[in-house]
């Protein structure tokens, strides 16, 4: 029997479809949608804990929810960083006071989070960060810069990895802090405009921003362990939902190939079949490793697979369109809005797939050192 296809799971699938059919559409904005999800009990269903305003379901039904959500093309999430990354980290490393303070508003969709990890000059080398947090009587004073901070312009809070030990290097002396974003004059968010014309990512500047002492997670100096634990939550059930979206995009590319006549080219047909076969391979690999923590290289292998696959799909989308791929859906003359159709957006946005979330070079290093046991790279 296929994963998630028991009679109980099918009943749950029907419940999910009914709820989504009733609620998707007519939502004013992304924050409002998070509250709708929270009100229905659909945020935090994979936390595995009771008492924080969420329903707890098993792994199979988490997959059902994620896949059905993707299939109906429900609104893009603003709360996934808090739900999928911070919440499991607090459950694993946070104090009871921190869980009681932060988990309920995440589950209700009332508080949104962003992730303060990457920095200019450090790239995917998380141990190379330079943001400092100086201990004060009632907390920490934070100074430094983060970059590629997703949804920082919408977030109420940011979890920040910073140096709390002066003169420390690499993974030593780091701490994991929960920082409120509403600090005028102390926190500045600058959008980064991308090739697509959109600005999902941001630069964030901390100039004496304050974090309360009780909002230190895992103890001072233990930030590296907490941060690595968080990255372990980054890929899992969401990978399967991502693949549903990929399948929808592949369908659009196939339709474009048929419409343009490119599907008559045997080379193009071979490329389309290859994309389909590789997507199926990624699905079965994700199912094989789902819920397992034994394979340290699994998340890195998955990232390497889908990043390159998605880029090739974007390139193929432009190839099957031919010269028409260079023509926008609207007027691109000076002063007109910069618009892209879905396939053009796919092509341009996917150029970043092999960089964000840990570059391909970083993923290969993880596999080499942690799985294959090769000598570690010497770092200053």
Contact 166, 220 (CB under 8 A): no
| Cα–Cα distance for residue pair 177/117, rounded to 1 Å | 11
Contact 199, 193 (CB under 8 A): yes
Which residue among the candidates 234, 249, 361, 369 is catalytic per the annotation?
234
Axis-axis angle for helices 298-321, 237-260 (nearest 10): 20
What backbone phi and psi angles, to 5 degrees, belong to 330? Answer: -135, -170
Kind and range of the H or E element at 12? Answer: helix 7-23
Q: Cα-Cα-Cα-Cα dihedral of 135, 139, 143, 144, to 10°?
A: 100
Structure tokens at 307: 């990043």
**Is 234 one of the catalytic residues?**
yes
Structure tokens at 139: 């907390």
| Cα–Cα distance for residue pair 79/155, rounded to 1 Å | 9
What backbone phi and psi angles, to 5 degrees, belong to 222? Answer: -105, 20
Question: In 10 A of CB 3, how many CB atoms?
Answer: 15
Contacts 24+ apart (CB under 8 A), 362-371: 362/124, 362/125, 363/300, 363/301, 363/303, 363/304, 364/300, 364/304, 366/296, 366/297, 366/300, 367/297, 367/300, 367/301, 370/296, 370/297, 371/295, 371/296, 371/297
Closest CA to 64 of 46, 79, 47, 51: 46
Active site amino acids = 234
């Amino acid at each position: 029997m296929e994963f998630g296809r028991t009679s109980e799971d099918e009943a749950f699938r029907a419940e999910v479809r009914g709820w989504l059919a009733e609620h998707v559409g007519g939502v004013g904005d992304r924050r409002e949608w998070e509250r709708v999800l929270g009100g229905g009990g659909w945020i935090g269903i994979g936390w595995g804990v009771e008492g924080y305003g969420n329903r707890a379901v098993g792994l199979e039904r988490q997959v059902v929810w994620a896949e059905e959500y993707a299939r109906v093309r429900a609104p893009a999430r603003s709360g996934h960083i808090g739900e999928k990354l911070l919440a499991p980290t607090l459950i694993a490393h946070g104090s009871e006071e921190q869980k009681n303070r932060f988990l309920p508003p995440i589950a209700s969709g009332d508080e949104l989070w962003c992730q303060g990890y990457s920095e200019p000059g450090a790239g995917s080398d998380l141990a190379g960060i330079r943001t400092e947090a100086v201990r004060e009587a009632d907390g920490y004073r934070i100074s430094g810069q983060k970059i590629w901070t997703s949804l920082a312009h919408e977030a109420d809070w940011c979890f920040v990895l910073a140096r709390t030990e002066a003169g420390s290097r690499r993974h030593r002396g780091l701490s994991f802090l929960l920082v409120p974003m509403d600090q005028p004059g102390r926190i500045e968010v600058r959008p980064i405009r991308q090739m697509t014309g959109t600005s999902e990512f941001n630069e964030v500047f901390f100039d004496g921003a304050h974090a309360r002492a009780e909002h230190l997670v895992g103890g001072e100096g233990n930030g590296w362990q907490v941060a690595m634990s968080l990255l372990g939550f980054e890929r899992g059930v969401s990978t399967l939902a991502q693949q549903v979206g990929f399948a929808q995009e592949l369908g659009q590319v196939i339709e474009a190939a048929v419409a343009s006549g490119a599907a008559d080219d045997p080379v193009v047909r071979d490329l389309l079949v290859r994309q389909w076969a590789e997507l199926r391979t990624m699905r079965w690999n994700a199912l094989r490793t789902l819920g397992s923590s034994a394979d340290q290289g699994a998340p890195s292998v998955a990232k390497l697979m889908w990043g390159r696959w998605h880029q090739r799909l974007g390139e193929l989308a432009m190839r099957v369109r031919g010269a028409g791929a260079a023509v926008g859906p609207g007027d691109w003359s000076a002063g007109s809005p910069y618009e892209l159709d879905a396939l053009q957006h796919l092509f341009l946005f996917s150029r970043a797939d092999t960089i964000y979330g840990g570059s391909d070079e970083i993923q290969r290093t993880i596999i080499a050192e942690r799985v294959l046991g090769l000598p570690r790279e010497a770092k200053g």
